[in-house]
Amino acid sequence: MKTNLKNKIIIITGSNSGLGLESAKKFASLGNTVILACRNIEYGNKAKRIVGENSLFIPLDVSSSESIDKFARKFGHKFSKLDILINNAGVMLHPPKKTEDGTEITFATNYLGYFFLSLKLIPKLICSPNSRIINVSSIASYRTEKINWDYFDPIKKISSLKEKREIYEHTNLFRLMFSIELQERLIKKNIPVKSIACHPGVAKSKLGRHFFLAKLIYALPVMSSTREGVKSIIYSSTNSNLSGGEFVGLNTKNQHKGDPIIVDPNPLAEIKTLRQKLWKMTVEKYGIDL
Ligand SMILES: NC(=O)c1ccc[n+]([C@@H]2O[C@H](COP(=O)([O-])OP(=O)(O)OC[C@H]3O[C@@H](n4cnc5c(N)ncnc54)[C@H](OP(=O)(O)O)[C@@H]3O)[C@@H](O)[C@H]2O)c1
């Protein structure tokens, strides 16, 4: 895919593997500075070696508010502006676990991390014209037909396969709802930053690592390559016709593979009262707002 993106400062979370690493390679090869925001020091350094001189590794565990604070401070000391934040880090079918903040791991990583990091970095995004936040979601966001609010910061242990699948689906819907709601709030506050959600279809990666069957599926030769998978991320990051608030998916019926195009989200994400409820619950619980 051709793009003129150059000399930009781009943060990509979870960029030591899969779609994040592939996006990092692409953006660095075009002459941008890519911040590899990865949680594991060894993997982060390895990613830096792979991506090359246009990259910098700054440790970030998106499931930890302390780590997000530290990352934002370190980034702030080194850079006066940010052009693109790509919220990409994610987990699927994770074994039961609470983070150091006491939050369920999939909820913390897939949703809360997007929310916290975006809000922390808005002061830097404001310093750059045409800046944007890209929120990677999934076609799994379509599967939820009615929101079960028990999946918002669940107290209950997420242990059955059904619960693990449902929390993955819910957190992908929450990411999307957050992305749309953020755009509306940015406009309301006259903040010239765009918020765009996208999904990659289904592409080879390590996403299935926590469940043997998913691990096999995500390595199948019929799956799209990660190069194919990042098309929607690159489109969302570079397309000047996007005004913010869109969901970029793929131009095929099941959206597993294809070329990027703006698609309709799960109708639940279009219900403002639900988005407002999600935002309010997040702010009330974690005390950070735009
Ligand atoms: N591949 C697909 O078909 C597909 C489809 C729909 C949506 N997605 C979404 O795409 C995103 C990228 O997934 P992928 O397919 O590229 O999977 P992947 O190969 O497993 O990559 C996930 C990345 O997220 C990182 N990560 C996980 N928890 C983190 C944390 N707490 N802090 C920082 N980084 C963390 C991982 O780091 P470690 O290596 O240290 O664990 C890894 O770098 C995910 O959000 C996923 O939901 C993927």
Give tens-digit pLDDT for 132-173. 999 999 999 999 999 999 999 999 999 999 999 999 999 999
What is the spatial distance between Cα 198 and Cα 165, in angstroms, rounded to a whole number?
Answer: 20
Cα 183 to middle of ligand 1, angstroms? 24
Residue 57 counted as domain residue: yes
Q: Per-residue confidence at 74, pLDDT binned at 50, 70, 90?
A: very high
Cα 18 to middle of ligand 1, angstroms? 7
Cα 23 to middle of ligand 1, angstroms? 12
Total number of residues shown for the chain: 290
* Protein residue with least CA distance to atom 3, ligand 1: 202
Q: Which atom from ligand 1 is nearest to the alpha carbon of 61?
A: 32
DSSP SS3 for 97: coil
What share of the chain has pLDDT > 70, as a percent? 99
Q: Which atom from ligand 1 is nearest to the alpha carbon of 99?
A: 31
Instruction: Using DSSP bridges, classify how beta strands 260-262 and 247-250 pair: parallel, antiparallel or unpaired.
Output: antiparallel
Residues with CB under 6 A from ligand 1: 13-14, 16-20, 38-40, 43, 60-63, 88-91, 109, 136, 138, 199-200, 202-203, 205-207, 229
Residue 2 counted as domain residue: no
Q: Per-residue confidence at 223, pLDDT binned at 50, 70, 90?
A: confident
DSSP state of 112: I
What is the spatial distance between Cα 77 and Cα 79, in angstroms, rounded to a whole number?
Answer: 6
Neighbouring-strand partners of residue 134: 86, 196
Going by C-alpha positions, the residue among 262, 230, 211 that lies closest to residue 21 is: 230
Per-residue model confidence (pLDDT) at position 207:
94
Q: Which atom from ligand 1 is nearest to the alpha carbon of 110?
A: 45
Residue 128 counted as domain residue: yes
Q: Is 130 left (phi over 0), alpha (psi -120 to 50) or beta?
A: left
Q: Which two tokens stand for residue 188?
A: 């309301």
Catalytic residues: 168
In this structure, are residues 23 and 88 in contact, taking their beta carbons and an 8 Å threshold?
Answer: yes
Provide the domain limits for residue 180.
Answer: 9-286
* Protein residue with least CA distance to atom 32, ligand 1: 61
Q: Which atom from ligand 1 is nearest to the alpha carbon of 208?
A: 20
Cα 143 to middle of ligand 1, angstroms? 19
Residue 1 counted as domain residue: no
Cα distances (Å, whole numbers) of residue 92 to 158, 165, 211: 12, 8, 9
Per-residue model confidence (pLDDT) at position 108:
98
Residue 249 counted as domain residue: yes
Count CB neighbours of 177 within 10 A.
29
Residue 196 counted as domain residue: yes
Residue 4 counted as domain residue: no
Per-residue model confidence (pLDDT) at position 1:
53
In this structure, are residues 207 and 214 in contact, taking their beta carbons and an 8 Å threshold?
Answer: yes
CATH classification at residue 277: 3.40.50.720
How many domains does the chain divide into? 1
Question: Tokens 């993955």 correspond to what residue?
Answer: 168
Per-residue model confidence (pLDDT) at position 3:
60
Residue 3 counted as domain residue: no
Average pLDDT (89-108) is 96
